[in-house]
Amino acid sequence: MVLVAVTILAGAKLPRWYHWGVQAGATFAFGFCIWLWYSAVYVIGVLCPYCMVVWSAVIPLFVVVTTRNILTGVISVPPRVRELTAAWWWALVALVFLGAFASIVIQFSWAFTG
């Protein structure tokens, strides 16, 4: 992902299929993190600090990659969705983090209250 970011920041024009591949990888990573989150919080009942670090990296990665692909036209959406995406992508990141944090606090409330 660092290589992709540096390439884009350097001004290289990558083909559309490349951006679709990055989107597919980010989407897979996000889906895998959702599975890890669900397994850790609701199935295993134990939080892994390394997994939580991965969650905190993949959530904004997925949202930013998707936002960039929407804003540059790789993903076709109506103009209103494009405007909302440009204005509120950060709120989506915050909502997903808030949801994950809330699920942890609710599921492990005994750890916070004694």
Residue 62, domain member (yes or no): yes
- From the number of C-beta atoms within 10 Å of its C-beta (0-12, 13-18, 19+), residue 62 rates as buried
Residue 14, domain member (yes or no): no
Residue 36, domain member (yes or no): no
Band the pLDDT of 64: cuts 50, 70, 90. very high
Residue 40, domain member (yes or no): no
Q: Which two tokens stand for residue 42?
A: 């609701």
User: How many folded domains does the chain comprise?
Assistant: 1
Band the pLDDT of 113: cuts 50, 70, 90. confident
Task: State the pTM of this model.
Answer: 0.88
Residue 55, domain member (yes or no): yes
Residue 93, domain member (yes or no): yes
Band the pLDDT of 54: cuts 50, 70, 90. very high
Question: Which residue segment(s) compose the domain that 63 sits in?
Answer: 47-106
User: Which of 45, 62, 54 lies closest to 104 in space, CA to CA?
Assistant: 45
Given CA atoms 56, 109, 106, 95 in this order, what sign does their dihedral have?
Answer: negative
Residue 42, domain member (yes or no): no
Longest CA pairwise span in the chain (Å): 55
